[in-house]
Structure 1
């Protein structure tokens, strides 16, 4: 009973501090217009790295970790972690956070591993700060700058901007954060073997001189994707498939997650694509709009359309860019390659 009263008092005190801090901050709402959010294109000014304790004692309970917001003292082996956006990296290393943001729990590739993780809201529609406090985390990792200060008042918090690291780098960084370096090395070995096997399969189907493009159609706009999201890492980075020259120049070389284009510009980016991988955000009229695009003369006159070389990338399968999802996307893409071969 005494413990419960103490926890309740702590909850009330922290919530009062968080409310006071939130009063001076500007509310950030989710992007409802279908455009690529800041998290897809944001880069960091600092690189997280571990800084050994001065005593260099391997049995030390805490250590200093440098990240994009400075240096934070974190547990050497954290046990109760809240993961905002980075759940997939932790799950890949066999670490299940006690809480995670709701946004990523809906994607099918993570469904099984997500079981048992408490939902704590998401930074765009609102984190459940009371829930986070109740979970008594000893470490929080987030990609959302606007809630960093609030979270850091609850527990040691690391700020790692999204897409600062590719899949391999995420595993290395989180192996360090979690004290799971051997597991990270083992994961990378398995991942590299899977990449090589899928690359051999792709090489037998898509020629070395052929090009592929990733197109995303939404309710009000459309995008050409680069090599970090919507299957881009698997297609361009892992499997080394080639992009058309215009996509290489305007998207990949510019390190853009995605480039919004007009319908009229579709031929500028897709007329030299031998294969097109199409993803559709079906909600809010996106499915109907995609049908309109595919039935347009602009689309039908594309070489890939004439040659029946357009293949669907399921939004929920390929939207996620964490290590665990990417590993499973390789299996899914291998199945897609088999369909192309037929």
Structure 2
């Protein structure tokens, strides 16, 4: 055999040995170094408002009334969605239009019919008195702490832990903050230091958003918009949101007003015929914008906040 052929044969043998060694090493790593889906625990233990709770690692059938925003943001559909009669969270219906409704107080019979493998409550107060143990007999239960539910960032982060999607939750928050920074710059360029107030029109009554109420936090915190003196002097928001009279609104010196309320609400007609309303600086200047889907304004959630941000930018930069 020639020297050339011997060298060629030797090189071929070496290559085969290296390939075999690498394959064995990779097989060993995949078998012992990583976790397969089969090896992953089927349950996880977390801390909620009730203490330590054990829930499925990857729940498939979830009921989470008034937490659908966080679910949808992380790509999960519940088996039933929160409702009061026929009223649902309208801003989420592009994603949830085919999801059955479940009454806000979660009737036990309906919960059993939906066969959840996890039930999530927005707060301890959201559970009907004496029903907690009954729900636990149907499926594991996770209960948000009040402070966690009130802050959509914490709300989404916790949902990421529940669903095993912590990285996705972090990325969603990061993307939101970048969008907010861009929107803030646009609004600042458009209105400078002008003040803005938001009013919810419902059932012929008027609800002035406090600085810390629902999506008003998008205006005053995320977008850095200045609040008028009437809003600045309001006390911190309380669970019971009381309407404000037209007479009290006479002191609203905002440069811009955003009205949110369903089309045809009698409150809008009353404003048109009110001398108090017509005398407000923003109204006289033509700086009033109206949005007829108020649902994203009255919820704490990342999707709701994004929609509110879009509303604010369209209203204030036109």
Pair in the same fold by TM > 0.5: yes
Within-5 A mapping of 1:228-307: 228-229=212-213, 231-251=215-235, 254-256=236-238, 258-268=241-251, 270=252, 272-281=253-262, 287-307=265-285
Matched, 1:188 2:173: yes
Structure 2 residue matching 1:213: 3-state secondary structure: strand
In structure 2, the CA distance between the partners of 1:249 and 1:153, relative to structure 1 (3 Å rule), is farther
Matched, 1:114 2:96: yes
Answer yes or no: is the 8 Å Cα contact 1:212–1:243 preserved in 2.
yes
Instruction: Please name the residue that 2:117 is paired with.
Output: 138
Within-5 A mapping of 1:195-206: 195-206=180-191
In structure 2, the CA distance between the partners of 1:194 and 1:62, relative to structure 1 (3 Å rule), is same
Worse-superposed segment, 294-303 or 317-326: 317-326
- Structure 1 residues not aligned, in runs of 5+: 1-57
Answer yes or no: is the 8 Å Cα contact 1:214–1:232 preserved in 2.
yes
Answer yes or no: is the 8 Å Cα contact 1:218–1:282 preserved in 2.
no
Q: Whose Rg is larger? A: 2
* Partner residue of 1:68 out of 26, 40, 49: 49
Deviation, 1:298, is 1.1
Aligned residues: 271
- Structure 2 residues not aligned, in runs of 5+: 1-38
Q: CA RMSD in A?
A: 2.6
Answer yes or no: is the 8 Å Cα contact 1:120–1:129 preserved in 2.
no
Structure 2 residue matching 1:214: 3-state secondary structure: strand
Residues 108-133 of structure 1 show CA distances to partners (whole Å, capped at 9, x for unaligned) of 4211211443322222xxx3433321
Structure 1 residue matching 2:115: 3-state secondary structure: coil
Answer yes or no: is the 8 Å Cα contact 1:75–1:138 preserved in 2.
yes
- Give, in whole Å, the separation in 2 of the partners of 1:105 and 1:217: 16
Answer yes or no: is the 8 Å Cα contact 1:61–1:76 preserved in 2.
yes
Deviation, 1:60, is 2.7
TM-score (norm: length of structure 2): 0.76
- Give, in whole Å, the separation in 1 of the partners of 2:137 and 2:212: 32
- Give, in whole Å, the separation in 2 of the partners of 1:202 and 1:259: 30
